[in-house]
Chains A and B, each alone.
Chain A
Amino acid sequence: MIPEIGHLALIIALCLALLQGVIPIWGAARGNAVWTAAARPLALGQFTFVALAFSCLVRSFVTDDFSVLYVANHANTALPLQYKVAGVWGGHEGSLLLWVFMLGLWTVAVAAFSRHLPDEMVARVIGVMGLIAVGFLSFMLFTSNPFERLLPAAMEGADLNPLLQDPGLVVHPPMLYMGYVGFSVAYAFSLAALMSGRLDATWARWSRPWTTAAWGVLTLGIALGSWWSYYELGWGGWWFWDPVENASFMPWLVGTALIHSLAVTEKRGGFKNWTVLLAIFAFSLSLLGTFLVRSGVLTSVHAFATDPERGVFILGFLAVVVGSSLALYAWRAPKVGLGGKFDLSSRESLLLTNNVLLVAAAGSVLLGTLYPLLLDALGLGKISVGPPYFNSVFVPLMVPLVFLIGIGPFARWKKTSFAELARRLKWALGAGVVAAVVLPLVLGRWTPLIALGILMAAWVAVTVGQNLLTRVRATPGGFGAVPNHYLGMELAHLGVAVVIVGVTLVTGLEQEKDVRMDVGDTATVGGYTFRFDGVTQVPGPNYESRMGTLTVFKGDQALRRLHPEKRIYRVQTMPMTEAAITSNLVRDLYVSLGEPVGAGAWSVRIYYKPFVSWIWSGAAIMALGGFLTLTDQRYRLLLGRRFRARARRGEAAGEAAR
């Protein structure tokens, strides 16, 4: 019964989404206030039914209803509760439902926080988001229904892929989707602006907080994914240039460009066409990512079961969405005027360079991801493109970008003098060079790449500090009066420096050892001694574990015990390596069990990973910076005004009652 309710709810949601996609847009075009006003209730209604469907699926998982095919394929009675819930998005159908659910959340958020916007604009934005929901809901209902029954019901489920049975997976996909789907808001705003023909500073101001919010969540999502693969895959890598990782990274790169170009559009009225195009690209890449992951045109460690019919549907949908928005752009954009003029040396041109570099980076990642497919389609053979390509293309594009982070905030709009920039930046450059020469020696090894990394990180950190100092001095009221959007920007830039430190040092200074260890044997890696104390059998809820014990010593002092595991999941009989990690600010010690090599001896892999946690902390700092800009006075003011207005209405109602 419950699955049928879920199915029905999806059908109703589709009908409401259709209305939501047509009526408000039509109303806005015709100037019909009643039709425009339908946007918010329709969006809320659509979301309610999607949420109902979502909770039905969660319930089917929690109650082990194996008469539902999707549940039978992705759960098991012995599966711990939190993974039953995470199982909802452990496969194709459920992840789509999660996608639509997130889209609904963003739509409702737009409906709630846009009271200060003209009704027409809101109607168009919500309408466009409704059309996207139509695509995904019909995709689900026609090709990938999560509520399909399995008759007769299975006695027991096939269990969730053991790789996905991990706390990281409970949060990673929702975060990632939240970010992905969040770009639909910026996209919808751009299309609404194109439809109305009013591409102006107000449009940019409205899109900015939404773009930054989506970007922040996507940053966290990507970082969580990277962290998950680091500790779960058992070989200590944190980025693989896997097609699915790239699928989330491309929208991130374009989204980062979009944030910067929106700033120019808002403050200077420039780059309008470009900004619209970026907003379209960011969301199109999110859709493309969905296509790549769901259609099975590329092989990937993340690939779910795929089926060509689904691929055709998503490709068709992608073609309609992106094609129609690019056509709308081609038709409308020539009417948009150019923004204010600017000098070759100005903040505008620096931001333009930033945009070009980021888009070029996204383009090269796209090329690398699709290249195997292009060659295959042209009949030129099967190849795979790996990290060497991505590293050698991506890194050289990022180096100038990082130096721009230091220069940009110093530059003035319109025109800035080289001499002044040079005067301000000489300190940062000096400090950076000193750090690049000295720090690697302190850390034990000097190579040109480590030095370059340190130089970049120090450059960014020092300029951020300088910038902030200048700004605080120039602000009456001091630090407390500096607007949050400014602090957020500096914080995000600082996050980049932290990421660079992590990437540089872990790449340049990590040590690893693959050793055969008998009970009582020791091995020394990175100045730490590891003693192998043997392996014992430990039963888990739905797996059998062989748990190793290693004691870590620094000199003679025992620091702690590590318990790497080798698990066999009972249903899928899949062996899994669970690494044991002990982490502090400056290093991770990472131990994973290999294979038993006879008489209680095991092969053991030990890594010393300096500063690796800085990669994810840096990403978290970047995201935090993004969220900080959202708390800026100017957005809060709007909210505050709304609450005050509501409070006044409340009082008035109270008096009337009295």
Chain B
Amino acid sequence: MKARTWIPLAVFGVLVAFLAAGLKLDPREVPSPLIDKPAPLFSLPLLHDPTQAMSPGQLKGQVWMLNVWASWCVSCRHEHPLLVQLSRTGQVPIYGLDYKDKVGDALAWLEQFGNPYTQSLVDADGRVGIDYGVYGVPETYLIDKEGIIRYKHIGPLTPKVIEETILPRVRELNA
């Protein structure tokens, strides 16, 4: 009789254990179909010199990061200091994909908050973003020497992601 009244608590304990385990998982972490596939090709004008264009082919032979950003994106502002910091260490070149943005706004934004990008590419109509499966800004891709996407991070980067996931992978890919 007495033991029976403890049942709800026990069941609840099991539920909490599962929920706690669930917190460590990310339901949105849909394994991107692009992982381990060649980075989609494009040719886009440079933000700081629209007469010049660039394509990922030119970057073969080095490990690089593609960071999708925009001046209208508030979360990008959160991760921006981290990118600036990372670029100063020179561990990995960061290329920016300025997504659905106005050139003037984008330049002013980089002026104000600092420019971590080796180059920024202008994807004004978001077409390249579609090829990369961008569904929210910011997103970050890590691409290896062969031009193959090795890692994708959705949402703003955190110090933890950079230290524990991105940098170890960069070292691994450079090795």
- On A, residues with C-beta under 8 Å from B are 69, 72-73, 154, 158, 273, 277, 280, 284, 291, 295-299, 305, 308, 311-312, 315, 318-319, 322-323, 326-327, 329-331, 333-334, 370, 372-374, 376-377, 382, 571, 573
A333 and B5 within 8 A (CB): yes
Question: In the complex where A158-B74, A323-B9 touch, is A312 in contact with B23 (Cβ < 8 A)?
Answer: yes
Q: Could you give 22 example pairs across A and B, Cβ below 8 Å?
A: A72-B74, A158-B72, A280-B8, A296-B28, A297-B27, A299-B27, A308-B24, A315-B20, A318-B19, A323-B12, A323-B13, A326-B8, A329-B5, A329-B8, A330-B5, A370-B18, A373-B25, A373-B27, A377-B21, A377-B25, A382-B27, A573-B100
- New contact pairs (10) apart from A311-B23, A322-B12, A382-B30, CB-CB < 8 Å: A73-B74, A280-B8, A297-B19, A297-B25, A323-B13, A326-B12, A334-B5, A373-B22, A376-B25, A377-B25
Question: Is the C-beta of B16 less than 8 angstroms from some C-beta in chain A?
Answer: yes
Question: In the complex where A319-B16, A334-B2 touch, is A377 in contact with B72 (Cβ < 8 A)?
Answer: no
Cα A73 to Cα B9 with chains together (Å): 40
Taking CB atoms, residues of chain B closer than 8 Å to A323 are 9, 12-13, 16
Question: In the complex where A154-B74, A330-B6 touch, is A296 in contact with B18 (Cβ < 8 A)?
Answer: no
Question: In the complex where A73-B74, A296-B27, A323-B16 touch, is A277 in contact with B8 (Cβ < 8 A)?
Answer: yes
A297 nearest CB neighbor, chain B only: B22
Write the B49-81 contact mask toward A (1 if CB under 8 angstroms, else 0): 000000000000000000000001111000000
Taking CB atoms, residues of chain A closer than 8 Å to B130 are none
Question: Is the C-beta of B1 less than 8 angstroms from some C-beta in chain A?
Answer: yes
B112 nearest CB neighbor, chain A only: A152
Taking CB atoms, residues of chain A closer than 8 Å to B74 are 69, 72-73, 154, 158
Cα A297 to Cα B9 with chains together (Å): 22
Inter-chain residue pair count (beta carbon < 8 A): 77
B136 nearest CB neighbor, chain A only: A305
Taking CB atoms, residues of chain B closer than 8 Å to A327 are 9
Taking CB atoms, residues of chain B closer than 8 Å to A571 are 72
B9 and A291 within 8 A (CB): no
Cα A326 to Cα B10 with chains together (Å): 9
Taking CB atoms, residues of chain B closer than 8 Å to A284 are 12
- In the assembled complex, how far is the CB of residue B30 from the closest CB belonging to chain A, in whole angstroms? 8
Question: In the complex where A296-B27, A376-B27 touch, is A330 in contact with B9 (Cβ < 8 A)?
Answer: yes
- In the assembled complex, how far is the CB of residue B129 from the closest CB belonging to chain A, in whole angstroms? 12
**Which one of A154, A296, A326, A372 contacts B9 once the chains associate, using CB atoms below 8 Å?**
A326
A291 nearest CB neighbor, chain B only: B19
- In the assembled complex, how far is the CB of residue A643 from the closest CB belonging to chain B, in whole angstroms? 42
Cα A298 to Cα B26 with chains together (Å): 8
Taking CB atoms, residues of chain A closer than 8 Å to B26 are 296
A377 and B12 within 8 A (CB): no
Taking CB atoms, residues of chain B closer than 8 Å to A296 are 26-28
Taking CB atoms, residues of chain A closer than 8 Å to B72 are 158, 571
Taking CB atoms, residues of chain A closer than 8 Å to B9 are 323, 326-327, 329-330
Taking CB atoms, residues of chain B closer than 8 Å to A291 are 19
Shortest Cβ-Cβ A-B pairs, 10 listed: A377-B21, A326-B9, A297-B22, A373-B22, A330-B6, A330-B5, A299-B27, A333-B5, A311-B23, A334-B2
Cα A331 to Cα B75 with chains together (Å): 48
Interface size on B, residues (CB 8 A): 27
Write the B124-148 contact mask toward A (1 if CB under 8 angstroms, else 0): 0000000000000000000000000
A299 and B20 within 8 A (CB): no
B12 and A374 within 8 A (CB): no
A303 nearest CB neighbor, chain B only: B28
Q: Quick one: which of B11-43 are within 8 Å of A by CB?
A: 12-13, 15-16, 18-28, 30
Taking CB atoms, residues of chain B closer than 8 Å to A372 are 27
A315 and B2 within 8 A (CB): no
Cα A305 to Cα B8 with chains together (Å): 32
- In the assembled complex, how far is the CB of residue B160 from the closest CB belonging to chain A, in whole angstroms? 10
B73 nearest CB neighbor, chain A only: A158
A299 and B22 within 8 A (CB): no
- In the assembled complex, how far is the CB of residue B4 from the closest CB belonging to chain A, in whole angstroms? 8
Cα A311 to Cα B28 with chains together (Å): 15
Cα A133 to Cα B41 with chains together (Å): 54
Taking CB atoms, residues of chain A closer than 8 Å to B13 are 323
Best-surrounded residue of B2, B15, B23, B100 (most CB of chain A within 10 A): B23
- In the assembled complex, how far is the CB of residue A278 from the closest CB belonging to chain B, in whole angstroms? 11
- In the assembled complex, how far is the CB of residue A373 from the closest CB belonging to chain B, in whole angstroms? 4
Taking CB atoms, residues of chain A closer than 8 Å to B15 are 370
**Which one of A72, A154, A312, A377 contacts B18 once the chains associate, using CB atoms below 8 Å?**
A377
A277 nearest CB neighbor, chain B only: B8
Cα A370 to Cα B15 with chains together (Å): 10
Taking CB atoms, residues of chain B closer than 8 Å to A311 are 23
Cα A347 to Cα B122 with chains together (Å): 72
B28 nearest CB neighbor, chain A only: A299
A319 nearest CB neighbor, chain B only: B16
Cα A305 to Cα B30 with chains together (Å): 16
Best-surrounded residue of B6, B9, B16, B19 (most CB of chain A within 10 A): B19
Taking CB atoms, residues of chain B closer than 8 Å to A299 are 27-28
- In the assembled complex, how far is the CB of residue B154 from the closest CB belonging to chain A, in whole angstroms? 12
Taking CB atoms, residues of chain A closer than 8 Å to B24 are 308
Taking CB atoms, residues of chain B closer than 8 Å to A273 are 5
B105 nearest CB neighbor, chain A only: A155
- In the assembled complex, how far is the CB of residue B76 from the closest CB belonging to chain A, in whole angstroms? 11
Taking CB atoms, residues of chain A closer than 8 Å to B18 are 370, 373-374, 377
Cα A293 to Cα B57 with chains together (Å): 43
B27 nearest CB neighbor, chain A only: A299
- In the assembled complex, how far is the CB of residue A339 from the closest CB belonging to chain B, in whole angstroms? 16
Cα A297 to Cα B13 with chains together (Å): 18
A318 and B16 within 8 A (CB): yes
- In the assembled complex, how far is the CB of residue B164 from the closest CB belonging to chain A, in whole angstroms? 14
Taking CB atoms, residues of chain A closer than 8 Å to B6 are 330
Taking CB atoms, residues of chain B closer than 8 Å to A298 are 27
Cα A296 to Cα B155 with chains together (Å): 14
Cα A212 to Cα B76 with chains together (Å): 46
Taking CB atoms, residues of chain B closer than 8 Å to A330 are 5-6, 8-9
Cα A291 to Cα B75 with chains together (Å): 23
- In the assembled complex, how far is the CB of residue B16 from the closest CB belonging to chain A, in whole angstroms? 5
- In the assembled complex, how far is the CB of residue B148 from the closest CB belonging to chain A, in whole angstroms? 24
A292 nearest CB neighbor, chain B only: B19
A152 nearest CB neighbor, chain B only: B112
B2 nearest CB neighbor, chain A only: A334
Cα A372 to Cα B18 with chains together (Å): 11
Cα A277 to Cα B15 with chains together (Å): 17
A571 nearest CB neighbor, chain B only: B72
B4 nearest CB neighbor, chain A only: A334
B100 nearest CB neighbor, chain A only: A573
Taking CB atoms, residues of chain B closer than 8 Å to A305 are 75
- In the assembled complex, how far is the CB of residue B96 from the closest CB belonging to chain A, in whole angstroms? 19
Best-surrounded residue of A305, A322, A326 (most CB of chain B within 10 A): A326
